């Protein structure tokens, strides 16, 4: 489908979904964003749903300003995926051992490594710039600098919520590794600190929603936020790189006879800010629950833990600011999912997938998410499908 345009106070709201199907609180959030005086465009992805501060599944283009809540607290959260030389025929009938080995190698939930991961010992992982990256931590906000030890030990860890690691098969029976994570606790603390700073600034008094507080270009507060934001986005990228390298080490050991090789890793943020140009204007484009889908650029759009996921190529649609959805998108809150579904429902909906099937992950049950096939159908003018994946192992935080 092409987009539907809904009137907004400063700019029209371009929606790659039926506006009538969007929950009322999310629609109000979008209308609030469209009142910001700095906004130059607002695109809404088919996986749109209510989020803290700003709507998940929204792409906000502003000139000379950026809204921290429109990035979210998991700065740089995103996906990585790689195709392996393994095929379905190489897999054992019982995949529980593999899941256990991955859970041993990659801490989940609030966990962290006992000692910092040395990237130099990981096969094929580039280490150039690693020392400089950590040296730049000394320049982040004083309020979170004391978290360095935790940040170092959480590098290479999955986290909780909707973060996951998966072993998948594509339609040709090739095996893929796919994972979803971000900047862990350090990104959250940086985000919350700067949101608090923004809400006290003069330009943000009287906004329709205080969560939409912005930083303005050429101010010390904007400079400080950009420094910490881009550092956290880099942390998230490195975090996924280390987990992918740890995963590959596990796969090499578990499938030693197969002499496994790996293709080029695809990686994309879906909670982040980028400096981009549209209509001759330099804009700050915030994607919260959206990936960049420039012409020919690879991206990853996952479904829920019992459905499928997609490797895609962007079509470079400027109407969406070269963006596409970041996944299936929730259709009910975590609280509602826990009330609605049981562990028996979870077992049924994840049949054939080696994964947790206990009450601790009911909020991630496939039934709590929108159908990924419909989401893909609604963005045919944003991406083309390269590969359709179905998980056979899912590790949840």
Which residues have a catalytic role annotated? 326
What is the C-alpha to C-alpha distance for residues 130 and 192, in angstroms, rounded to an integer? 26
Say if residue 270 carries a ligand binding annotation: yes
Nearest to 242 by CA among 363, 116, 142, 338: 116
Query: Annotated binding residue at 317?
Result: no
What single DSSP character describes residue 316?
-
> Taking a C-beta distance cutoff of 8 angstroms, is the pair 101, 92 a contact?
no
244 annotated as belonging to a binding site for a ligand:
no
DSSP summary character for residue 50: -
204 is in an annotated binding site: no
227 is in an annotated binding site: no
- The answer to the question of whether 396 is labelled as a binding residue is yes
Q: Is 302 annotated as a binding residue?
A: yes
> Binding residue per annotation — 76?
no
Report the alpha-carbon distance of residue 379 to residue 310 in Å, rounded: 13
Is 255 annotated to bind a ligand? Reply is no
- Rounded Cα distance, 237 and 255, in Å: 27
Question: Is 166 marked as binding a ligand?
Answer: yes
Is 162 annotated to bind ligand?
A: yes
User: Is 49 annotated among the ligand-binding residues?
Assistant: no
Are residues 301 and 310 in contact, defined by beta-carbon separation less than 8 angstroms? Answer: yes
The Cα 12–Cα 86 span in angstroms is 47
Q: Answer for the pair 303, 369: CB distance below 8 angstroms, yes or no.
A: yes
The annotation status of 123 as a binding-site residue, yes or no, is no
Instruction: Please enumerate in sequence order all residues whose Cβ is within 8 A of that of 148, keeping only pairs 6 or more positions apart, or say none.
Output: 137
Per the structure block, which two tokens stand in for 212? 């939409």
Cα–Cα distance measured from residue 59 to residue 68, given in angstroms and rounded to the nearest whole number: 13
Does 32 carry a binding-site annotation?
no
DSSP annotation of 176 = E
d(CA 245, CA 125): 7
Angle at 69 between CA 313 and CA 295, to 5 degrees: 15
Q: Is 163 annotated as a binding residue?
A: yes
Buried b (16+ CB within 10 A) or exposed e, 306-338: bbbbbbbbbbebeebbbbbbbbbbbbbeeeebe
Q: Would you list which residues are annotated within the binding site for Mn(2+)?
A: 74, 163, 180, 270
Q: Would you list which residues are annotated within the binding site?
A: 74, 162-166, 180, 270-271, 302-305, 309, 326-329, 396
Q: Would you list which residues are annotated within the binding site for GMP?
A: 162-166, 270-271, 302-305, 309, 326-329, 396
């Amino acid at each position: 489908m092409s987009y539907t345009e809904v009137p907004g106070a400063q700019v029209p709201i371009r929606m790659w979904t039926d506006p009538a199907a969007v929950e009322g609180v999310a629609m109000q959030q979008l209308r609030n964003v469209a009142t910001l005086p700095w906004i130059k465009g607002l695109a809404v992805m088919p996986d749109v749903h209510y989020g803290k501060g700003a709507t998940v599944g929204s792409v906000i283009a502003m000139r000379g300003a950026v809204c921290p809540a429109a990035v979210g607290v998991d700065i740089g959260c995103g996906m990585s995926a790689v195709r392996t030389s393994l095929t379905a025929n190489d897999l054992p009938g019982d995949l529980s051992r593999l899941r256990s080995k991955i859970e041993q190698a990659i801490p989940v939930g609030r966990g962290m490594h006992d000692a910092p991961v040395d990237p130099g010992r990981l096969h094929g992982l580039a280490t150039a710039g690693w020392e400089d990256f950590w040296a730049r931590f000394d320049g982040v906000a004083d309020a979170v600098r004391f978290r360095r030890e935790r940040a170092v030990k959480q590098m290479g860890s999955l986290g909780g919520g909707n973060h996951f690691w998966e072993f998948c098969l594509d339609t040709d029976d090739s095996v893929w590794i796919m994972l979803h994570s971000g900047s862990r606790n350090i990104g959250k603390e940086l985000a919350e600190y700067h949101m608090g700073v923004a809400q006290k600034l003069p330009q943000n008094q009287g906004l329709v929603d205080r969560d939409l507080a912005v930083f303005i270009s050429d101010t010390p507060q904007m400079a400080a936020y950009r420094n910490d934001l881009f550092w956290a986005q880099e942390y998230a990228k490195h975090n996924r790189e280390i987990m992918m390298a740890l995963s590959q080490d596990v796969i090499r050991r578990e499938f030693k006879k197969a002499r496994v090789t790996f293709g080029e890793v695809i990686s994309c943020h879906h909670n982040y800010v980028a400096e981009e140009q549209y209509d001759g204007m330099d804009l700050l484009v915030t994607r919260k629950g959206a990936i960049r889908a420039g012409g020919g650029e690879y991206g990853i759009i996952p479904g829920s833990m019992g459905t499928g996921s997609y490797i895609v190529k962007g079509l470079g649609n400027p109407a969406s600011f070269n963006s596409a959805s970041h996944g299936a998108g929730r259709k009910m809150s975590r609280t509602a999912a826990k009330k609605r579904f049981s562990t028996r429902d979870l077992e049924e909906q994840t049949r054939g997938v080696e994964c947790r099937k206990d009450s601790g992950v009911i909020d991630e049950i496939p039934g709590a998410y929108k159908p990924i096939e419909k989401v893909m159908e609604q963005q045919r003018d944003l991406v083309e499908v390269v590969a359709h994946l179905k998980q056979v192992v899912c590790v949840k935080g």
